Amino acid sequence: MKTNTTAPAPAALPSGGPRYFHLLWDTELDELRPVLESVQKHRNRVLEHWYQLYVLHFADSRALTKTEFIEIFGSELDATLKDLLGKDMDGFAANVARIGEQLAERGVPFQELIVSIHLFEESAATAFPTFPPLTGRTYQAFDKLSHIRMVVLADTYFRSKTAVSGARIMALEREAATLPNHSRSRFHGMVGASAAMRQLYDRVEAAGVTRGTILIVGESGTGKELVAHAIHECGPQPGAPFVALNCAAVPKDLIESELFGYKRGAFSGANAEYLGLFRAADGGTLFLDEVTEMSADTQSKLLRAIQERSVRPVGSTREIAVDVRLIASTNRDPQEEVKAGRLRDDLYYRLQAGVIHIPPLRARLEDVALLVEHFIELFNARQMRGVPVTGAEDEAIEAMRRYSWPGNVRELANAIESAFTFSRSPVIRLQDLPASIAGSRAAEREPVARVNPVGSFADAEHALIRRALDATEGNKVQAAKLLKISRKKLYAKIVKYGIE
């Protein structure tokens, strides 16, 4: 008598049909069908709730406007729901990958992308009283589906960023190799031929060949992340991961888990293990923008991670070795931050061994014409308008050379982009520039206007707030810092003057 020795399938695992990405069974897709159909039925309301959560979490630091958010994630939601209801997992993965590429090309930070996926789960599960209640099995299947999305998005995002970075690095290296140091006007994305910029190029190149920690000091808008990228690209492994985190954009109590990761079950909501940014940057560079925004406790753990070359995820009892080069930045005087208690002295002593100062634009006004040329090339390449811009009139260049640029290079880029948007002229003229820039030159050309009243204090305050918002691309948090007032006070002024 023949005995059947085949072991039965484990009771805990669903059976029937294939299993996708080693996680989700075909039968679990069947269990998810009522949930997916409900999301499809309430698609617009889900998207609106999702966007509200996105704004709540990222506020003015978010990378996407409402139109961009609804367009990108709405397209992905439509396509992936159709794929899932049809059990077309290959099509699902392809559509998720397409969105990952779009988000990478738009420069959406990776942590913002991942948090947005979590926010979708929250929106889908809580937006409507009529939403089907999630059983334990259905919730587990929904959680697995979210993990598959994250796996595909992460893989696509970093491959896309690496490919773009690799092509850019090769072009920049070819350009730099043909020029002697004293003749450089462009270097790894940085633009300028002034003595201050050429000295910066030399320091960036020297820092690139080391693996030591670096502290970049510069005002808002000077391009601290661009300099960090350049240091990474000058290193021996420019194709290795480059991971950036803006510490000012993440709540202080979440920075530790973002950096070091966490174990499943470490805290409420930790439904899966998260590697953290240190391990995501293993073999490459981790850039921490505005490092003084960290709590003192997190700074202490950061210092230990640098010294021991290891991290301990939240909820774990063991250290994990990492090989990461750390670059930090601040827009404040680090010594003053130490005195004020916002930067630990032991962390500062570790970082001060490699300090790079970025000059403000007002200290290198001779570079304005080169920067204007650079941004014209950039916006033409993006095809921002049907008729390309061929250059800028001398009068416009002269006005920009006389301006003090409180928002630095970012403000200059915004001024050129504004001219692209609102002018149809093939060249940028004086009248195409923001009034704060063009007006200073116009007043000098027409001294008769000086007999007019200088205007009220309210007029001056209104203009100052508008300039700060223009310089920070509407980022109210950064504008408040630039004006050295609280965000609450800035909001009150915006309402008072009716600034949109």
pLDDT for residue 244 is more than 50 = yes
Reading phi first (left if > 0) and then psi (alpha if -120 to 50, else beta), residue 16 is in: left
Q: What is the pLDDT of residue 12?
A: 47
Q: What is the pLDDT of residue 307?
A: 93
Residues 6+ apart with CB under 8 A from 25: 13, 14, 15, 16, 17, 18, 19
* 381/371: higher pLDDT: 371
Final residue in a domain of this structure, among 91, 126, 161: 161
User: In this structure, are 406 and 498 located in the same domain?
Assistant: no
pLDDT for residue 327 is more than 80 = yes
User: In this structure, are 67 and 145 located in the same domain?
Assistant: yes
* 479/254: higher pLDDT: 254
Summarised one tens digit per residue, pLDDT across range 301-311 is: 999 999 999 99
Summarised one tens digit per residue, pLDDT across range 90-99 is: 888 888 888 8
Summarised one tens digit per residue, pLDDT across range 465-487 is: 877 787 777 778 777 777 778 77
Query: Residue 98 sits in a domain of what CATH number?
Result: 1.10.490.10
* 14/232: higher pLDDT: 232
State mean pLDDT over 186-206: 91
Strand partners, 355: 215
Is residue 440 very low, low, confident or very high in pLDDT (cuts 50, 70, 90)? very low
pLDDT for residue 179 is more than 60 = no
Q: What is the largest CA-CA distance in the chain?
A: 114
pLDDT for residue 87 is more than 70 = yes
User: In this structure, are 411 and 492 located in the same domain?
Assistant: no
CA 498 to chain CA mean position, Å: 29
Question: 8 in a domain, yes or no?
Answer: no
User: In this structure, are 258 and 344 located in the same domain?
Assistant: yes
Q: What is the pLDDT of residue 351?
A: 92
User: In this structure, are 291 and 391 located in the same domain?
Assistant: no
Question: 255 in a domain, yes or no?
Answer: yes
Mean pLDDT of the chain: 81
Query: Residue 388 sits in a domain of what CATH number?
Result: 1.10.8.60
Distance CA 267, CA 447 (A): 66
Question: 315 in a domain, yes or no?
Answer: yes
Residue given tokens 């709730």 in the structure block? 49
Number of domains in the chain: 4
Question: 65 in a domain, yes or no?
Answer: yes
User: In this structure, are 39 and 137 located in the same domain?
Assistant: yes
Tokens of residue 58, six digits: 């990222």
Is residue 448 very low, low, confident or very high in pLDDT (cuts 50, 70, 90)? very low
What 157-164 contacts at long range (C-beta under 8 Å, 24+ apart), as own/partner pairs, is: 157/100, 157/101, 157/103, 157/104, 157/110, 157/113, 158/110, 158/241, 160/100, 160/101, 160/104, 160/105, 161/104, 161/242, 162/239, 162/241, 164/104, 164/105
pLDDT for residue 171 is more than 80 = no
Tokens of residue 138, six digits: 């259905």
State mean pLDDT over 185-189: 86
Query: Residue 489 sits in a domain of what CATH number?
Result: 1.10.10.60
User: In this structure, are 72 and 127 located in the same domain?
Assistant: yes
Question: 176 in a domain, yes or no?
Answer: no
pLDDT for residue 63 is more than 70 = yes
CA 179 to chain CA mean position, Å: 32
Final residue in a domain of this structure, among 318, 340, 359: 359
User: In this structure, are 330 and 285 located in the same domain?
Assistant: yes
Tokens of residue 163, six digits: 């490919």
User: In this structure, are 305 and 397 located in the same domain?
Assistant: no
User: In this structure, are 97 and 57 located in the same domain?
Assistant: yes
Distance CA 356, CA 330 (A): 11
**Domain range for residue 461?**
453-500
Final residue in a domain of this structure, among 316, 333, 359: 359
pLDDT for residue 113 is more than 90 = no
pLDDT for residue 15 is more than 70 = no
Q: What is the pLDDT of residue 133?
A: 58
Question: 6 in a domain, yes or no?
Answer: no
